[in-house]
């Protein structure tokens, strides 16, 4: 009896070989060039990988698959040796064209395609498709990747290494356990260091965007992405960086204001995800402040477009660990004080606790009051007021960061954004009170 699942997996492997092979064929500009593989070779290698995996499955061992991998590798090695001999002969006889090539990129791609054939056989088709997409991007964006690598300095590479150390080597080994007095267990080393990594990571991603699309677009794109993650961390990072890159103060201000607007949208989506019944009560309180924030961001963009200010081309490296650590400590202290107020002052001090908690981060307050709404029956009006007080404190805190930590040229532009958002929030508080 035919098993169509077998043919389906083999067909997937053949498709992968065809796609990668056609991409490689398009990189061979000269028909006289000699290359280790083309569309036919890639297709056959992918099929060979799937068939070798099939044989291994049938025989109950991995010997056929490993043997096939070794054979493909030896054939590629023989091809490169042949190229080297041909190149030497062409140097002796100037009448013959020198055989071309593209290094070992194609050969490495052949080996990966062989492995993808095996992956297809074992039914991991989604994973195979993701790998193929990444391969196509890497192979097609050759010039862009080389240009990006040339723009990197030694300082940039060192910053990358440092970020990898604090995120991949330190974070996993910190205990994810809360410490502190009963009821005030908020001192979690893993969470605190995760926030430090988060702040540094926003700066790092922003710097990569700046390198790719330029400082102006890169900064406001960072603001949008940072607002989806943490507008507080984004504000701290961009405000600190503005001191070293004062020519881009207007761009930093625009990125910060955008992150504030995105924060409200993100918070609304989180709340209705946790409790769909809150979609209507929270619509106006959380989305009305977005209007003045986006309006002022648009005004800043138009003003910058009209000014045509000349900016320097240099942009400093993003990795500043000490400010991130300092803010991590401050964040922990504020959360500790907010929890102390909640424990010792009781539920009657909900608004005060929300105000203190919002000074550090909105998400913690949102999670707390929604949990109270679901478990303790907290009224929707009290929940809305708690979030409004938290957002008011959060806006004032972020405005203070820009005013005291940012470049002097940012103080005046950021003030209208703070005033507009606070006025709208205060009006909502008065309405719900």
385 neighbors 433 (Cβ within 8 angstroms):
yes
Query: What's the predicted TM-score (pTM) here?
Result: 0.58
CA distance 80 to 68: 19
Predicted local distance difference test score (pLDDT) of residue 46: 93
- Per the model's pLDDT, the better-predicted residue between 293 and 151 turns out to be 293
* Tokens (6 digits) for 102: 């593209």
Predicted local distance difference test score (pLDDT) of residue 313: 46
Residues 47-77 pLDDT 10s = 999 999 999 988 888 899 999 999 998 998 8
Report helix, strand or coil for 361.
coil
Residues 93-145 pLDDT 10s = 544 444 444 568 888 999 999 999 999 999 888 889 999 999 998 888 888 77
Residues 260-283 pLDDT 10s = 998 899 889 888 887 888 889 999
CA angle at 287 for the pair 284 and 291, rounded to the nearest 5°: 115
- Which of 117-126, 282-291, 377-386 shows the lowest per-residue confidence on average (mean pLDDT)? 377-386
Tell me the average pLDDT across 307-317. 52
* Tokens (6 digits) for 363: 């998400």
Written as one string, the DSSP assignment of 267-321 is: HHHHHHHH-GGGTTTTHHHHHTTHHHHHHHHHHHHHHHHHH-----S-------H
* Tokens (6 digits) for 52: 């070798």
252 neighbors 406 (Cβ within 8 angstroms):
yes
- Per the model's pLDDT, the better-predicted residue between 377 and 72 turns out to be 72
- Per the model's pLDDT, the better-predicted residue between 361 and 1 turns out to be 361
- Which of 75-79, 300-304, 384-388 shows the lowest per-residue confidence on average (mean pLDDT)? 300-304
* Residue 303 pLDDT exceeds 90: no
Tell me the average pLDDT across 338-367. 71
224 neighbors 247 (Cβ within 8 angstroms):
no
C-alpha distances in angstroms, 39 versus 11, 43, 48, 116? 15, 6, 14, 16
* Tokens (6 digits) for 107: 């050969």
From the list 237, 188, 209, 245, the residue with the least C-alpha distance to 364 is 188
């Amino acid at each position: 009896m035919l098993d169509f699942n077998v043919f389906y997996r083999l067909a997937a492997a053949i498709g992968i070989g065809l796609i990668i092979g056609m991409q490689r064929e398009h990189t061979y500009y000269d028909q006289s060039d000699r290359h280790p593989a083309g569309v036919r070779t890639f297709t056959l290698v992918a099929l060979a990988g799937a068939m070798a995996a099939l044989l291994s499955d049938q025989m109950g061992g991995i010997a056929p698959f490993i043997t096939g991998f070794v054979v493909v590798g030896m054939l590629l090695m023989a091809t490169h040796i042949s190229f080297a001999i041909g190149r030497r002969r062409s140097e002796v006889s100037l009448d013959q064209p020198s055989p071309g090539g593209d290094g070992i990129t194609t050969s490495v791609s052949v080996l990966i395609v062989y492995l993808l054939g095996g992956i297809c056989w074992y039914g991991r088709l989604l994973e195979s498709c993701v790998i193929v997409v990444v391969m196509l991007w890497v192979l097609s964006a050759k010039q862009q990747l080389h240009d990006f690598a040339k723009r990197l300095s030694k300082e940039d590479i060192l910053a990358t290494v440092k970020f990898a150390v604090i995120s991949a080597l330190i974070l996993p080994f910190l205990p994810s356990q809360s410490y502190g007095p009963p009821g005030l267990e908020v001192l979690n080393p893993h969470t605190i260091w995760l926030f430090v990594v988060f702040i540094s990571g926003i700066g790092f991603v922003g710097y990569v965007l700046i390198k790719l699309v330029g400082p102006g677009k890169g900064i406001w794109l960072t603001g949008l992405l940072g607002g989806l993650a943490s507008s507080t961390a984004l504000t701290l990072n961009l405000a600190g960086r503005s001191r070293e890159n004062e020519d881009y103060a207007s761009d930093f201000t625009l990125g910060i204001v955008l992150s504030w607007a995105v924060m409200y949208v993100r918070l609304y989506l989180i709340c209705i995800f946790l409790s769909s019944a809150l979609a209507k009560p929270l619509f106006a309180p959380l989305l009305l402040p977005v209007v003045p924030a986006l309006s002022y961001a648009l005004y800043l963009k138009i003003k910058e477009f009209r000014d045509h200010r000349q900016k320097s081309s240099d942009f400093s490296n993003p990795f500043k660990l000490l400010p991130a650590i300092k803010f991590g400590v401050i964040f922990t202290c504020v959360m500790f004080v907010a929890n102390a107020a909640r424990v010792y002052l009781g539920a009657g001090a909900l608004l005060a606790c929300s105000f203190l908690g919002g000074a550090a981060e909105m998400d913690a307050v949102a999670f707390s009051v929604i949990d109270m709404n679901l478990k303790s029956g907290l009224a929707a009006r009290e929940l809305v007021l708690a979030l409004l007080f938290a957002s008011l404190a959060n806006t004032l805190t972020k405005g203070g960061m820009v005013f005291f930590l940012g470049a002097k040229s940012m103080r005046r532009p950021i003030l209208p954004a703070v005033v507009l958002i606070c006025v709208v929030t205060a009006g909502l508080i008065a309405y719900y009170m």
